Amino acid sequence: MAETTPHIPVLLDEVLEGLSPLPGQRLIDGTLGAGGHTEAILKAVAPHGQVLALDADPSALEIARRRLAAYGDRVRFVNANFAQLAAVARDLDFFPVHGVLLDLGLSSMQLDAVERGFSFQSAGPLDMRYDPNSPTTAADLVNNLAQDELADLIYRFGEERRSRAIARAIVAARPLHTTQQLAEVVARGVGGRRGDRLHPATRTFQALRIAVNDELDALRAALPAATSILAPGGRLAVISFHSLEDRIVKEFFRRESRDCICPPEQPVCTCGHRATLHIITPKPITVTSTEAALNPRARSAKLRVAECMEQ
Ligand SMILES: C[S@@+](CC[C@H](N)C(=O)[O-])C[C@H]1O[C@@H](n2cnc3c(N)ncnc32)[C@H](O)[C@@H]1O
């Protein structure tokens, strides 16, 4: 993957304030990408603090490894899904940690790499995998799912109201091989509407990317995993880019910050649940208009931070 557009780390100051890394501490970046957040954390924990950096995409690791070469063995790189982050940290004896960062979704480098098939702006293969060894590509879903399954997927993961018409158009045009073919079929299927801010294929592409990479289940697995390896007072920071992700983070933080999670109508607590997190950001932090102008990718970003409680 070429380093075309440099990936600008989103909400960098706010992430640092949220994680509050101090010299000598150990933190995990579950979504290394181009290594922008990791580098800032490495500076904050200098001279001896360490970062364990994970990415599902080996080519992102390669780029970040070159960028962060000067930090030597203060940064460790692992090609893994963040759903596995607690297991990876335990294997490397890298726990408890003072912070975990998840900056979800894809990087500008992945979006710009035509051969990865994330963008509808150019004719790439229908791929969309972060991990090139994972079994399912976007082409597999687009060309093999039944029309109803495709419509459900586009509705669930794209929150696309016109999912049925889109699925019908896709099935009629199969087999599809490129991102541009798919974008054209979707646009023809739904018709552009005057005043639409988004390209008509935006939500369909989001849905396929989420499904191909099983993104929501990975996030659901990563949140308790991260919490389980935080030191008391350690922080978990998550940047999400759409409402499906943000809802999962918000509900997890809410649940883990409560001592009882019994249904409200139940008169006596039987769950035995104890709060593990204290919410630092009751409302998510969003970007300033200056950051949004400099980095359009950041516009929909929401940062939530929680702190691990003493047990
Ligand atoms: C938004 S980018 C991170 C950018 C990074 N914070 C920076 O400053 O350069 C997200 C990265 O997370 C990776 N990623 C997405 N889902 C993942 C998962 N479940 N496990 C591991 N890495 C994942 C992507 O491959 C991508 O490189």
What's the rounded Cα separation, in Å, for the pair 155 and 209? 13
Question: Is the CB of 34 within 6 Å of ligand 1?
Answer: yes
* Run of H or E including 56: none
32 C-alpha to ligand 1 centroid (Å): 5
* Length, in residues, of the chain: 311
Region 177-203: mean pLDDT is: 85
Query: For residue 130, which atom of ligand 1 is closest to its CA?
Result: 25
pTM: predicted TM-score of the whole model, two decimal places: 0.96
Instruction: Work out the burial of residue 197: count CB atoms within 10 Å of its CB; fewer than 13 is exposed, 13-18 middle, 19 or more buried.
Output: exposed
Model confidence pLDDT, tens digit, residues 82-123: 999 999 999 999 999 999 999 999 999 999 999 999 998 888
pLDDT (0 to 100) of residue 286: 98
Report residue 50: phi and psi, to 5°. Answer: -130, 155
Nearest alpha carbon to residue 25 among 49, 46, 41? 49
Residue 47 has pLDDT above 70, yes or no: yes
